[in-house]
Structure 1
Amino acid sequence: MRYVAANTLFFALALTQASHAADGSFLLNSCNEMLQATTVAEVGKLNAPDTLASGFCFGSMTTLQQLARLQWSGQDEPALGLCVPPAVRTTQYARIVVKYLQAHPERLHDESSFLALTALREAYPYSSSCIR
Protein backbone atom coordinates (compact mmCIF):
# COMPACT_ATOMS: atom_id res chain seq x y z
CA MET A 1 0.00 0.00 0.00
CA ARG A 2 2.87 2.41 0.79
CA TYR A 3 4.35 1.65 -2.62
CA VAL A 4 1.12 2.67 -4.39
CA ALA A 5 0.80 5.83 -2.29
CA ALA A 6 4.44 6.77 -2.93
CA ASN A 7 4.09 6.24 -6.68
CA THR A 8 0.85 8.22 -6.77
CA LEU A 9 2.50 11.10 -4.92
CA PHE A 10 5.55 10.96 -7.22
CA PHE A 11 3.44 11.12 -10.39
CA ALA A 12 1.25 13.89 -8.99
CA LEU A 13 4.35 15.97 -8.22
CA ALA A 14 5.83 15.24 -11.64
CA LEU A 15 2.65 16.36 -13.38
CA THR A 16 2.51 19.51 -11.28
CA GLN A 17 6.08 20.38 -12.21
CA ALA A 18 5.48 19.61 -15.90
CA SER A 19 2.45 21.89 -16.04
CA HIS A 20 4.33 24.61 -14.14
CA ALA A 21 7.21 24.41 -16.60
CA ALA A 22 4.95 25.41 -19.46
CA ASP A 23 3.71 28.74 -18.08
CA GLY A 24 4.84 32.26 -18.91
CA SER A 25 6.86 32.66 -15.72
CA PHE A 26 9.02 29.67 -16.57
CA LEU A 27 9.44 30.87 -20.16
CA LEU A 28 10.44 34.36 -18.99
CA ASN A 29 12.99 33.00 -16.52
CA SER A 30 14.29 30.48 -19.05
CA CYS A 31 14.76 33.05 -21.79
CA ASN A 32 16.36 35.56 -19.43
CA GLU A 33 18.83 32.87 -18.37
CA MET A 34 19.56 31.93 -21.97
CA LEU A 35 20.01 35.52 -23.15
CA GLN A 36 22.23 36.54 -20.23
CA ALA A 37 24.60 33.61 -20.63
CA THR A 38 24.67 33.15 -24.42
CA THR A 39 27.80 34.25 -26.23
CA VAL A 40 28.84 34.16 -29.87
CA ALA A 41 31.55 31.56 -30.35
CA GLU A 42 32.11 32.35 -34.03
CA VAL A 43 30.00 33.60 -36.91
CA GLY A 44 26.74 31.66 -36.90
CA LYS A 45 27.55 29.70 -33.72
CA LEU A 46 26.19 30.37 -30.23
CA ASN A 47 27.37 29.14 -26.85
CA ALA A 48 24.28 28.79 -24.69
CA PRO A 49 24.18 27.54 -21.10
CA ASP A 50 23.67 23.81 -20.73
CA THR A 51 20.66 23.91 -18.42
CA LEU A 52 17.11 22.66 -18.67
CA ALA A 53 15.70 26.18 -18.46
CA SER A 54 17.97 27.57 -21.16
CA GLY A 55 17.25 24.56 -23.36
CA PHE A 56 13.51 25.08 -22.89
CA CYS A 57 13.76 28.65 -24.18
CA PHE A 58 16.16 27.83 -27.01
CA GLY A 59 14.06 24.86 -28.12
CA SER A 60 10.83 26.86 -27.97
CA MET A 61 12.28 29.76 -29.96
CA THR A 62 13.89 27.47 -32.54
CA THR A 63 10.59 25.67 -33.03
CA LEU A 64 8.72 28.96 -33.48
CA GLN A 65 11.42 30.15 -35.87
CA GLN A 66 10.93 27.07 -38.04
CA LEU A 67 7.13 27.14 -37.81
CA ALA A 68 7.06 30.84 -38.75
CA ARG A 69 8.15 29.79 -42.24
CA LEU A 70 5.45 27.14 -42.56
CA GLN A 71 2.99 27.84 -45.35
CA TRP A 72 0.13 25.61 -46.45
CA SER A 73 0.07 24.64 -50.10
CA GLY A 74 -1.95 27.10 -52.16
CA GLN A 75 -2.12 29.69 -49.35
CA ASP A 76 -0.45 33.08 -49.31
CA GLU A 77 -0.61 33.61 -45.56
CA PRO A 78 1.85 31.70 -43.38
CA ALA A 79 0.26 29.04 -41.17
CA LEU A 80 1.05 30.93 -37.94
CA GLY A 81 0.03 34.32 -39.35
CA LEU A 82 3.49 35.81 -38.85
CA CYS A 83 5.63 37.96 -41.12
CA VAL A 84 9.06 37.42 -39.58
CA PRO A 85 11.99 38.39 -41.80
CA PRO A 86 14.24 35.38 -42.45
CA ALA A 87 17.26 37.18 -40.94
CA VAL A 88 15.69 37.28 -37.43
CA ARG A 89 17.76 35.02 -35.19
CA THR A 90 16.70 32.68 -32.41
CA THR A 91 18.01 35.06 -29.74
CA GLN A 92 15.96 37.89 -31.26
CA TYR A 93 12.84 35.73 -30.96
CA ALA A 94 13.69 35.27 -27.28
CA ARG A 95 14.21 39.02 -26.76
CA ILE A 96 10.80 39.77 -28.31
CA VAL A 97 9.13 37.19 -26.06
CA VAL A 98 10.92 38.48 -22.93
CA LYS A 99 9.92 42.07 -23.73
CA TYR A 100 6.28 41.01 -24.18
CA LEU A 101 6.22 38.96 -20.97
CA GLN A 102 7.79 41.79 -18.97
CA ALA A 103 5.15 44.18 -20.34
CA HIS A 104 2.32 41.77 -19.47
CA PRO A 105 3.05 40.25 -16.05
CA GLU A 106 -0.67 39.57 -15.56
CA ARG A 107 -0.39 36.89 -18.26
CA LEU A 108 2.54 34.94 -16.80
CA HIS A 109 0.22 32.17 -15.60
CA ASP A 110 -0.87 31.50 -19.22
CA GLU A 111 0.59 28.72 -21.37
CA SER A 112 4.08 29.55 -22.66
CA SER A 113 3.70 28.63 -26.32
CA PHE A 114 0.52 30.70 -26.62
CA LEU A 115 2.28 33.68 -25.02
CA ALA A 116 5.31 33.34 -27.30
CA LEU A 117 3.12 33.20 -30.39
CA THR A 118 1.12 36.21 -29.17
CA ALA A 119 4.35 38.17 -28.65
CA LEU A 120 5.58 37.34 -32.14
CA ARG A 121 2.23 38.18 -33.73
CA GLU A 122 2.37 41.56 -32.03
CA ALA A 123 5.92 42.17 -33.27
CA TYR A 124 5.53 40.68 -36.75
CA PRO A 125 1.86 40.68 -37.81
CA TYR A 126 1.06 39.29 -41.22
CA SER A 127 -0.11 41.65 -43.92
CA SER A 128 -0.50 41.26 -47.69
CA SER A 129 2.75 43.22 -48.13
CA CYS A 130 4.71 40.62 -46.18
CA ILE A 131 7.98 39.86 -47.96
CA ARG A 132 9.27 36.39 -47.19
Structure 2
Amino acid sequence: MKAWIGAIVLAGMLASGGVMADGNDLLRRCQIAVQSVDSPNTNLHLTPKDGVEAGRCLGMVEGVWSTLKIYEDVTPKNHKVCLPNEGLKSVQAIRIVDKFLRDNPAKLNETETFLTILAFKQAYPCK
Protein backbone atom coordinates (compact mmCIF):
# COMPACT_ATOMS: atom_id res chain seq x y z
CA MET A 1 0.00 0.00 0.00
CA LYS A 2 2.80 2.45 0.93
CA ALA A 3 4.60 1.73 -2.35
CA TRP A 4 1.40 2.42 -4.28
CA ILE A 5 0.89 5.77 -2.53
CA GLY A 6 4.54 6.67 -3.14
CA ALA A 7 4.18 5.86 -6.83
CA ILE A 8 1.07 8.04 -7.12
CA VAL A 9 2.79 10.96 -5.36
CA LEU A 10 5.87 10.62 -7.58
CA ALA A 11 3.72 10.45 -10.73
CA GLY A 12 1.84 13.57 -9.65
CA MET A 13 5.05 15.45 -9.00
CA LEU A 14 6.47 14.46 -12.37
CA ALA A 15 3.28 15.41 -14.15
CA SER A 16 3.19 18.80 -12.45
CA GLY A 17 6.74 19.60 -13.48
CA GLY A 18 7.75 20.34 -9.89
CA VAL A 19 10.56 17.83 -10.00
CA MET A 20 11.78 19.00 -13.38
CA ALA A 21 12.01 22.77 -12.74
CA ASP A 22 15.09 24.14 -14.45
CA GLY A 23 16.90 27.43 -14.82
CA ASN A 24 14.40 28.72 -17.36
CA ASP A 25 11.61 28.36 -14.79
CA LEU A 26 13.70 29.89 -12.02
CA LEU A 27 14.79 32.83 -14.18
CA ARG A 28 11.17 33.64 -15.07
CA ARG A 29 10.12 33.42 -11.43
CA CYS A 30 13.02 35.48 -10.11
CA GLN A 31 12.52 38.15 -12.76
CA ILE A 32 8.95 38.56 -11.52
CA ALA A 33 10.25 38.78 -7.94
CA VAL A 34 12.85 41.42 -8.80
CA GLN A 35 10.33 43.37 -10.86
CA SER A 36 7.84 43.40 -8.00
CA VAL A 37 10.49 44.64 -5.55
CA ASP A 38 11.76 47.31 -7.94
CA SER A 39 8.29 48.65 -8.71
CA PRO A 40 6.20 48.29 -5.55
CA ASN A 41 4.20 51.50 -6.01
CA THR A 42 3.54 51.35 -9.73
CA ASN A 43 0.74 49.80 -11.72
CA LEU A 44 2.73 46.63 -12.33
CA HIS A 45 -0.46 44.55 -12.62
CA LEU A 46 0.89 41.39 -11.03
CA THR A 47 -1.58 38.55 -11.13
CA PRO A 48 -2.08 36.15 -8.24
CA LYS A 49 -0.12 33.60 -10.30
CA ASP A 50 2.76 36.10 -10.55
CA GLY A 51 2.75 36.35 -6.77
CA VAL A 52 2.97 32.59 -6.48
CA GLU A 53 5.79 32.47 -9.03
CA ALA A 54 7.75 35.19 -7.18
CA GLY A 55 7.19 33.25 -3.98
CA ARG A 56 8.55 30.10 -5.56
CA CYS A 57 11.72 31.99 -6.49
CA LEU A 58 12.06 33.31 -2.96
CA GLY A 59 11.43 29.85 -1.51
CA MET A 60 14.10 28.25 -3.69
CA VAL A 61 16.67 30.94 -2.99
CA GLU A 62 15.99 31.04 0.76
CA GLY A 63 15.93 27.23 0.98
CA VAL A 64 19.27 26.80 -0.77
CA TRP A 65 20.81 29.69 1.20
CA SER A 66 19.66 28.19 4.51
CA THR A 67 20.86 24.72 3.57
CA LEU A 68 24.28 26.03 2.57
CA LYS A 69 24.50 27.89 5.88
CA ILE A 70 23.48 24.84 7.93
CA TYR A 71 26.00 22.54 6.23
CA GLU A 72 28.78 25.14 5.97
CA ASP A 73 31.05 23.39 8.48
CA VAL A 74 30.78 19.91 6.96
CA THR A 75 30.89 20.80 3.26
CA PRO A 76 34.08 19.63 1.49
CA LYS A 77 36.44 22.50 0.71
CA ASN A 78 36.08 22.17 -3.09
CA HIS A 79 32.28 22.53 -2.81
CA LYS A 80 32.23 25.18 -0.11
CA VAL A 81 30.48 28.52 -0.44
CA CYS A 82 31.85 31.15 1.96
CA LEU A 83 28.68 32.94 2.96
CA PRO A 84 28.87 36.34 4.65
CA ASN A 85 28.66 36.13 8.44
CA GLU A 86 26.33 39.11 8.60
CA GLY A 87 23.77 37.29 6.47
CA LEU A 88 22.03 38.41 3.34
CA LYS A 89 18.73 40.14 2.67
CA SER A 90 16.27 38.09 0.64
CA VAL A 91 16.07 40.63 -2.19
CA GLN A 92 19.87 40.65 -2.54
CA ALA A 93 19.92 36.85 -2.68
CA ILE A 94 17.26 36.89 -5.41
CA ARG A 95 19.25 39.47 -7.38
CA ILE A 96 22.38 37.29 -7.15
CA VAL A 97 20.53 34.30 -8.56
CA ASP A 98 18.71 36.37 -11.21
CA LYS A 99 21.97 37.91 -12.45
CA PHE A 100 23.74 34.54 -12.52
CA LEU A 101 20.94 33.03 -14.59
CA ARG A 102 20.88 35.97 -17.05
CA ASP A 103 24.68 35.82 -17.40
CA ASN A 104 24.74 32.05 -17.99
CA PRO A 105 21.99 31.17 -20.49
CA ALA A 106 23.79 28.01 -21.62
CA LYS A 107 23.27 26.53 -18.13
CA LEU A 108 19.53 27.11 -17.90
CA ASN A 109 18.87 23.44 -18.65
CA GLU A 110 20.28 22.52 -15.23
CA THR A 111 18.04 22.13 -12.18
CA GLU A 112 17.02 25.22 -10.27
CA THR A 113 18.63 23.96 -7.05
CA PHE A 114 21.98 23.32 -8.72
CA LEU A 115 21.94 26.72 -10.43
CA THR A 116 21.10 28.49 -7.19
CA ILE A 117 24.09 26.83 -5.52
CA LEU A 118 26.31 27.85 -8.45
CA ALA A 119 25.09 31.45 -8.19
CA PHE A 120 26.02 31.63 -4.50
CA LYS A 121 29.32 29.84 -5.13
CA GLN A 122 30.21 32.45 -7.76
CA ALA A 123 29.07 35.35 -5.59
CA TYR A 124 30.79 34.10 -2.42
CA PRO A 125 33.84 32.03 -3.39
CA CYS A 126 36.14 30.83 -0.63
CA LYS A 127 39.59 32.37 -0.73
Q: Distance in 2 between matches of 1:16 and 1:76?
A: 32
2:22 aligned residue:
23
TM-score, normalising length: structure 2: 0.68
Partners of 2:123 and 2:63 lie apart in 1 by: 17
1:1-132 to 2 correspondences below 5 Å: 15=15, 17-20=17-20, 22-38=21-37, 51-71=51-71, 75=74, 81-85=80-84, 86-127=86-127
Larger Rg: 1
Aligned residues: 108
Unaligned ranges ≥5, structure 2: 1-10, 41-46
Tell me the distance in 2 between the aligned counterparts of 1:106 and 1:66. 26
Extract structure 1 runs of 4+ deviating beyond 4 A. 11-14, 75-78
**TM-score between the two structures when normalised by the length of structure 1:** 0.65
Higher relative contact order (CA 8 A, sep 6+): 2
- Structure 1, unaligned stretches of length 5 or more? 1-10, 42-48, 128-132
SS class of match (2:17): helix
> As a proportion of its length, which structure holds more strand?
1
Cα distance change on mapping 1:82 and 1:12 into 2, 3 Å:
closer
Contact 1:71 1:77 (C-alpha < 8 Å) held by counterparts: no
